[in-house]
Amino acid sequence: MEFAFVSGNPALDLAGTVGSRRDEAVDALSGPADLERWIAECDELPDRVRVGRAGFESALSLREALYRLALDRVLDRRFDRDSLEIANRTAAGPVPGLELGDTGLHITGDLRAVLSHIARSGIAVLADPDACLKECGRTGCTRIYLDRSRGARRTWCGMEACGNRIKAANYRARKRSSGAVADRGPEGAG
Ligand SMILES: [Zn+2]
């Protein structure tokens, strides 16, 4: 399964590894190997991190806590106490190391450092009163993302994952209702 890093924050991207949360949830992390790949693909995290069974379970519990907190924030309600406890405790762990070299940045650390970094990023965005968190506008997606666009007018988590699907569906609907091919395709605006 392809991972999407479109939420603007690693904590939200981790939460987004479960899609369609209110229908039949689809989990992109089915085991430790998937999490190792997700970590390697995430820009802010070390490339080679070993994940064992217990570590995987901790990561999933952090993921669900972060999702719950993000949803609480989107719905403007009090944070869930248990989720706060998990996020805060994880954030207190060691952080990844950063080394500058001629080839650029080298990030080091084990799974504990990875989870701590993710928790800290999540806490920072959830605590920021100016951060505009939204749930994707495509029905059934349920991904929460950070809208950094001007005037916060972004509607979808990512163009590829959801924006294009919506546009294609709208295009098909227009085509059906007009009985003719519209002059602008799904790639037209936007
Ligand atoms: Zn979406």
Q: Where are the domains of the chain?
A: 10-130
Instruction: Tell me, in angstroms, the distance from the centre of ligand 1 to residue 156's CA.
Output: 5
- In the predicted model, is pLDDT for residue 172 greater than 90? no
Tell whether the torsion through CA atoms of 177, 183, 185 and 190 is positive or negative. Answer: negative
Nearest to 175 by CA among 163, 164, 166, 183: 183
pLDDT in tens, 37-81: 999 999 999 999 999 999 999 999 999 999 999 999 999 999 999
Q: 39-43, 159-163, 178-182 — which is least confidently predicted?
A: 178-182
Distance 187 CA to ligand 1 centre (A): 17
Helices (H), 32-163: 32-41, 53-74, 81-91, 111-127
Centroid of ligand 1 to alpha carbon of 158 (angstroms)? 6
Say what the pLDDT of residue 179 is: 64
pLDDT category of residue 190 using cuts at 50, 70 and 90: very low
7-40 pLDDT, tens digit each: 999 999 999 999 999 999 999 999 999 999 999 9
Q: How far is the CA of 145 from the centre of ligand 1 (A)?
A: 9
Distance from residue 124's CA to the centre of ligand 1 (Å): 22
User: What is the model's pLDDT at position 178?
Assistant: 74
- Cα angle for residues 164, 16, 50 (degrees, 5° grid): 125
Asked if 69 and 80 count as a contact pair (C-beta separation under 8 A), the reply is yes
User: Ligand 1 centroid vs 126 CA: distance in angstroms?
Assistant: 20
DSSP helix/strand/coil, 48: coil
Which DSSP category does 161 fall into?
A: I
